[in-house]
Amino acid sequence: MPSSAPPGEPSSEPRLSLHGLQSDLAGPFDFSLPAGACAAVSGASGSGKSLFLRMIADLDPHEGDVRLDGGSRAAMAATDWRRRVPYVAAESGWWRDTVVEHFEPERLGKARGLAERLGVGTAQVDGPVIRLSTGERQRLALIRALVLDSPVLLLDEPTGPLDPVSVGQVEDLLRERLAAGVSVLLVSHDPAQAVRLGAARYVMRDRRLAPAA
Amino acid sequence: MNAIPLSATDLAIAASLVAFDALLSVALRLQLHRQVLWASARMVVQLIAVGYLLRIVFGMHHPAATAAIIVVMAAVAAREIAARPERKFKHGAGLAISAGGVAVATVVTVVLALATAIRPHPWYDARYAISLAGIILGSVLNAGSLALDSLLSGVEREKSAIEAQLGLGVSFAAATAPFLRAAIRRGLLPVINQMSAAGVITLPGIMTGQILAGLDPVEAVKYQILLMFLLAGASGLSALIIAYGAMRRLTDPRQRLRLDRLR
């Protein structure tokens, strides 16, 4: 499923690796994530979790080196990079009136299938964005990234506003992707979620990242 | 032309209307009398000063003096455009962008008019160049400030929608295209209104002035039509250049949304 096959020996390079990633606001971060692995970052609000994910997606100015399967991000166009390493914010943004307009036509079929699996009704998918509940928005925003079939997913509190049933559905889907080799880095406040996803746990404290005790 | 000269007494009688406004404000407690009086005093001083200044410059017959006046007027317009949005660019970038838009829009339209339609001798005759630049700068200011304000407030308001797209690998240009279009549209509305209202709802100021000054109405109308076209062109150029310039400043080579460049 991952679209960027590693050019060299697949096992030698981690899927995602960061060196000296820092800005005036957070870091420095050194971190790596193997293919098919999950990492969960927790921490107080304002501790820099979103800044960390945004830096990896190259959405904020910063210094440092990021590599995907050994290939440097600096050598890639920003748009190509973010298609491979998409970032889904905690608060979903919408830019058209109807839900379907947020998907490229050729990916719409896949999006519908995923929406069904995550318990978002057909009426919602075919309706206007303003009629969606917060939880539906959250799931559809996740689906916008999932349909890209990217090798990495950066997810900022993907299950924040969801009920337990929906949380379970999202986690099932993420586990499936992990098993298929996708690497997932997510912000989560729920230690049990990290356990359910088999994630390595990290804590963000004072804008620095440390493995959870 | 046989304009009827106005005496100080004539103006004093008209000024009683301003006094009426001030009295109204006091009577109805509008809290506006100070502003009304201050604004009208300011207007009188500014216009008298500019009248004498123009008399001197017209007498000098020197292109440098003409250019200097136009540059000062354009600089003030650029400053006003940059100052209008609620959130402004840091480090004078807004001023640089609006100065670029003002300069191009004004020079292109004024030179076009002087070189083709009006053709005074010499072509840079202060009487024509300064008057034309003055009128055009008004439209340039309107279009540019509306476009810039619309763009910055739109992008600021919809930043989560823009960043949601950027995060999925959509290009900055594609994610922000609707705001660019809305800004240019917004900048063009005043001149469209002005053109569609001209002669029916309003008698444009230039035309009225020329008629009052004794010019034949049809001749005055021709001038007004020419001016409207110039204003339309200048508005379009100003809105286009300023909106594009601001959008470029809002991003970087990594196609990020750089709202940190605003204060």
Tell me how far apart the alpha carbons of residues A99 and A114 are, in angstroms, rounded to a whole number: 14
Q: What is the largest CA-CA distance in chain A?
A: 48
Terminal C-alpha separation, chain A: 33
Q: Is A93 left (phi over 0), alpha (psi -120 to 50) or beta?
A: beta
In this structure, is the dihedral angle defined by the CA atoms of residues B202, B208, B212 and B215, taken in order, positive or negative? negative
Highest mean pLDDT among A47-51, A144-148, B198-202, B223-227: A144-148
- What does the domain layout of chain B look like in residue ranges? 1-60, 62-261
pLDDT digits (tens, 9 = 90+) for B25-39: 889 988 888 888 998
- Outline where DSSP puts E strands in A34-144: 38-42, 63-68, 71-72, 87-88
What is the extent of the structural domain holding A165?
1-86+151-213
Task: Choose the closest CB to B167 out of A61, A89, A94.
Answer: A89
Contact yes or no for A93 and B165 at CB 8 A: yes
CA-based nearest residue in chain B for residue A89: B164
Chain A residues touching residue B160 (CB < 8 angstroms): 89, 91-93
Model ipTM value: 0.91
Q: Examine the domain organization and report whether A211 and A169 are in the same domain.
A: yes
Q: Examine the domain organization and report whether A155 and A81 are in the same domain.
A: yes
The amino acid that residue A53 corresponds to is L
Q: Examine the domain organization and report whether A100 and A115 are in the same domain.
A: yes
Whether A20 contacts A49, CB under 8 Å: no
Which of A127, A147, A167 corresponds to the end of one domain? A147
pLDDT digits (tens, 9 = 90+) for B51-94: 999 999 988 888 899 999 999 999 999 999 999 898 999 999 99
Task: Choose the closest CB to A57 out of B158, B160, B167.
Answer: B167
Q: Examine the domain organization and report whether A138 and A190 are in the same domain.
A: no
Task: Choose the closest CB to B169 out of A80, A88, A91.
Answer: A80
B239–chain A nearest CA distance, Å: 24
When pLDDT is cut at 50, 70 and 90, the band that residue B125 belongs to is: confident
A213–chain B nearest CA distance, Å: 31
Q: Examine the domain organization and report whether A73 and A120 are in the same domain.
A: no
When pLDDT is cut at 50, 70 and 90, the band that residue B2 belongs to is: low
Q: Examine the domain organization and report whether A113 and A206 are in the same domain.
A: no
**CATH number of the structural domain spanning residue A207:** 3.40.50.300
Q: How many CB atoms lie within 10 A of CB A95?
A: 18
Share of chain B above pLDDT 90, in %: 60
Q: Examine the domain organization and report whether A76 and A26 are in the same domain.
A: yes
The angle at the Cα of A159, spanning A87 to A138, to the nearest 5 degrees, equals 65
CA-based nearest residue in chain B for residue A53: B167
Domain count, chain A: 2
Whether A203 contacts A23, CB under 8 Å: no
Q: Examine the domain organization and report whether A97 and A129 are in the same domain.
A: yes
Whether A85 contacts A56, CB under 8 Å: yes
Q: Examine the domain organization and report whether A138 and A170 are in the same domain.
A: no
Q: Examine the domain organization and report whether A38 and A109 are in the same domain.
A: no
CA-based nearest residue in chain A for residue B261: A61
Map residue B160 onto helix, strand or coil: helix
B179–chain A nearest CA distance, Å: 11
Tell me how far apart the alpha carbons of residues B203 and B191 are, in angstroms, rounded to a whole number: 14
